[in-house]
A and B are shown apart, each in its own frame.
Chain A
């Protein structure tokens, strides 16, 4: 039993690399997902991942399967969409969701157009589904660097970001932090989606952000507890997903995200905040 759980990691370097990648993603992308969830922007992460794809594809077209070009392309495309959407939302009557939808669709269409200009021969499967089992030094360093940046930025932005989430009008009334928190956070979303797509692919990257966050929301009563719970769930999903992928010979990315999904479903059934929480945790009410 122990053998089945440990030997894959001790015997194979690619499994150790994948494990390190999963740990980095759990520490970086998942806290960002917690704030996405609390800001009611869960679906926005999905839209953003589409906005990044064309940039990465453009980098691939220009420079081939180069980590740097695809990363820069993805980050630039994501930031442009986020900035444009944010500026429009703050200066017109369109709300954030509407202007973001408009810009990411434009970005996606532009990307598809560019890709089709070059015809076939595109091996974009790597971008779409990631390659957590074949992370090279460069990718691993990139993911780790983005995670370090994210943790530092979250530590600096924590207080303004919490206020921007739960009382934005108060934050606006006490100074100029509101746009800093807003755009800084969106930049973190873009960075972590890019870091996620190297491991899990653009389609799956959002999964490791939102699923553990949603499950943690059902268990935790305070924000620090929720962050810790989400990171723990994300890393556990990474480990279990990698082992499942190893033993059952299934693709690792979907296995990890599905594991996180199962944890979420279990939380819905069992957690205090879940569907049956009120009945499962019923105790006699107090005097006052």
Chain B
């Protein structure tokens, strides 16, 4: 038996949702430390809800999850950031805020740290764009900047909600190479994705969701045609008058 913090994240009969209707219910899975897990499933499967809960923005309806890393070592990239692109702030300043844990609200940005910000911008391919206002970036460049800020946060567990939405293939290649670097550095990654080709190619582990857990484990074992077909039929079934769910964790068949 592993010690508890051999896992970056453990879900224990976890049910999440809004207003009694579960978005996803009875999750039971354990993400090993350093694992790179893709969360896959149709729209409405509860993927974003899961990430939101782990990020601490939503309380579970039932069950619980356990973090194997301190809460401040988690970095979360929401699907739709609330970024106000009209705000007069430069790319450099926006990305440098990833160093918040070191410089806080009052600390000065030391020359070495400024150099670190520039190096990170170079890593995501934004060299020379430091002084541009964020509102003038293209969608792909903005996502590169958000990745750069995420890198500077130096987190142990990274939560990425559909990071490649409306992003061109070149940017996806660059950014998924960065995610593989994080993986090599031993960070734990949980990313919601729709591109199954990319998942098969890049992500060793996969969690298939459709309001409930349809599979968790090595990607090739989880993404079978039968399971994907089942996921498609399950995800759409919202029922205003759904009966009360009496299922318990122990009845949950191991996926």
Interface residues in chain A, defined as those with a beta carbon under 8 Å from any beta carbon in chain B: 38, 156-157, 159-160, 162-163, 165-170, 172-175, 177, 220-223, 226
Interface residues in chain B, defined as those with a beta carbon under 8 Å from any beta carbon in chain A: 55, 57, 72, 75-76, 78, 81-84, 87-90, 94, 97, 100-101, 105-106, 133-134, 149, 153
Residue of B nearest to A161 (CB): B105
With known contacts A166-B87, A222-B88, A174–B100 Cβ distance under 8 A? yes
- Give the docked Cα–Cα distance between A168 and B106 (Å): 18
Q: Are A223 and B75 in contact (CB under 8 A)?
A: no
Q: Are A221 and B97 in contact (CB under 8 A)?
A: no
Q: Are A169 and B106 in contact (CB under 8 A)?
A: no
Q: Are A221 and B81 in contact (CB under 8 A)?
A: no
Other than the given A170-B83, A223-B88, 6 more pairs (CB < 8 A) read A162-B87, A163-B97, A165-B87, A166-B83, A173-B55, A222-B90
Q: Which residues of A contact B72 (CB under 8 A)?
A: 174-175
- Give the docked Cα–Cα distance between A169 and B133 (Å): 19
Q: Smallest distance from the beta carbon of B211 to chain A beta carbons, Å?
A: 23
9 nearest A-B residue pairs (beta carbon): A166-B87, A169-B82, A166-B84, A174-B100, A159-B105, A173-B76, A167-B83, A160-B105, A223-B88
- Give the docked Cα–Cα distance between A162 and B87 (Å): 9
Q: Are B89 and A162 in contact (CB under 8 A)?
A: yes
Q: Are B76 and A159 in contact (CB under 8 A)?
A: no
Q: Smallest distance from the beta carbon of B69 to chain A beta carbons, Å?
A: 14
Q: Which residues of A contact B57 (CB under 8 A)?
A: 172
Q: Are A221 and B105 in contact (CB under 8 A)?
A: no
Q: Are B75 and A221 in contact (CB under 8 A)?
A: no
With known contacts A173-B55, A175-B100, A221-B133, A167–B84 Cβ distance under 8 A? yes
With known contacts A174-B101, A177-B105, A38–B76 Cβ distance under 8 A? no
Q: Which residues of A contact B100 (CB under 8 A)?
A: 174-175
Q: Are A223 and B81 in contact (CB under 8 A)?
A: no
Q: List 29 A-B contacts (CB under 8 A).
A: A156-B105, A159-B106, A162-B87, A163-B97, A165-B87, A166-B89, A166-B134, A167-B82, A167-B83, A167-B84, A167-B97, A169-B78, A169-B81, A169-B82, A170-B81, A170-B97, A170-B149, A172-B57, A173-B55, A173-B75, A173-B76, A174-B72, A174-B101, A174-B153, A175-B100, A220-B88, A221-B133, A222-B90, A226-B88
Q: Smallest distance from the beta carbon of B158 to chain A beta carbons, Å?
A: 12
Q: Are A221 and B88 in contact (CB under 8 A)?
A: yes
Q: Smallest distance from the beta carbon of B185 to chain A beta carbons, Å?
A: 20
The listed residue with most B CB atoms (<10 A of its CB), out of A157, A159, A223, is A159
Q: Smallest distance from the beta carbon of B76 to chain A beta carbons, Å?
A: 5
With known contacts A160-B105, A172-B57, A175-B100, A165–B84 Cβ distance under 8 A? yes
Residue of A nearest to B76 (CB): A173
Residue of A nearest to B153 (CB): A174
- Give the docked Cα–Cα distance between A177 and B106 (Å): 12
Q: Which residues of B contact A159 (CB under 8 A)?
A: 105-106
